[in-house]
């Protein structure tokens, strides 16, 4: 890559608006679309979504688990989703939430961030809960290849606070994660490539969410998050927010035009964040 992920994301959202569509082909959605819960159904679903939304939105976020459950044939579909989304002009954020140590962490970096891999994406989600330093191979790979990382920080799931709100000598675990991201993004223009995942339905936080990097915010829309919530939770850092939703868009299928229209409606709804 000739530019950093942070710079590419800033350009993409300026052009297409700040919205990330999750591609989550779980069994219930396949059934809603009248598709079988098999590889053929997965392929029809995922590629229809890509055809409809990848030319429209800034970021497409396939959830790897829903492809992996079908084995190698499902991963082959995921490879097509990555390639065709990028060909249509969308950035691809692969939702894998990987986190490990040493050579295993390096292997994940090679799989998802090295352009030689068929799964190479613009960015991936990662977990820092083996210690932030365990992510160093992925940080190094992101810098080498112009890719990005979104690090779990303050998630909306009810189990999250028992780890993320736990206190260390210097503050909370989540606060420590955010501190690391601030250091990684220091001095980056227009913003850094190392982002945080912060749920739209966390209610509120005392943490400083200004990390000079993107803030992936799942939970917008069908899960309850609103533009008002984003303004309240993120304050001045709202300019860094990338709202993410899947159900609000995917339930409009299987008609590609309806899917594209649903995505545009969300783009229009969150445009107010820039006002």
The catalytically annotated residue of 26, 86, 97, 251 is 97
Nearest 5°: the CA angle 84, 90, 94 is 75
97 is catalytic: yes
CA 57, CA 244: separation in Å to the nearest integer? 11
Orientation of helix 227-234 relative to helix 256-270, angle to 10°: 40
- Please provide the DSSP assignment of 140-156 as one string: HHHHHHT-EEEEEEE-S
- Please provide the DSSP assignment of 236-259 as one string: GGGGGEEEEESHHHHTTTT-HHHH
- 149 forms bridges with which residues in the sheet? 124, 194
CA 38, CA 74: separation in Å to the nearest integer? 9
Q: Which residues are catalytic?
A: 97
């Amino acid at each position: 890559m000739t530019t950093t992920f942070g710079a590419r994301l800033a350009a993409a959202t300026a052009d297409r608006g700040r919205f990330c569509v999750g591609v989550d082909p779980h069994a219930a959605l396949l059934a809603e679309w009248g598709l079988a819960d098999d590889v053929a159904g997965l392929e029809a679903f995922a590629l229809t979504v890509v055809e409809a939304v990848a030319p429209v939105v800034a970021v497409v976020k396939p959830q790897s688990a829903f492809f992996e459950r079908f084995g190698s044939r499902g991963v082959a579909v995921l490879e097509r989703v990555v390639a065709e989304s990028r060909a249509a002009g969308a950035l691809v954020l692969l939702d894998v939430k990987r986190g490990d140590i040493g050579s295993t962490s390096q292997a994940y970096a090679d799989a998802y961030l090295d352009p030689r891999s068929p799964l190479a994406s613009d960015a991936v989600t990662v977990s820092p809960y083996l210690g932030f330093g365990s992510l160093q191979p992925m940080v190094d790979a992101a810098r080498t290849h112009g890719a990005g990382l979104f690090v779990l920080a303050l998630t909306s799931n009810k189990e999250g606070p028992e780890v993320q709100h736990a206190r260390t000598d210097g503050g909370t675990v989540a606060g420590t994660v955010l501190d690391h991201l601030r250091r990684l993004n220091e001095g980056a223009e227009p913003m850094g490539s190392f982002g945080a995942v912060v749920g739209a339905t966390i209610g509120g936080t005392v943490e400083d969410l200004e990390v000079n990097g993107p803030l992936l915010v799942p939970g917008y829309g069908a899960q309850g998050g609103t533009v008002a919530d984003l303004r309240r939770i993120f304050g001045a850092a709202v300019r860094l927010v990338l709202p993410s939703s899947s159900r609000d868009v995917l339930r409009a299928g299987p008609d590609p035009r309806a899917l594209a229209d649903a995505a545009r409606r969300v783009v229009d709804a969150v445009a107010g964040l820039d006002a």
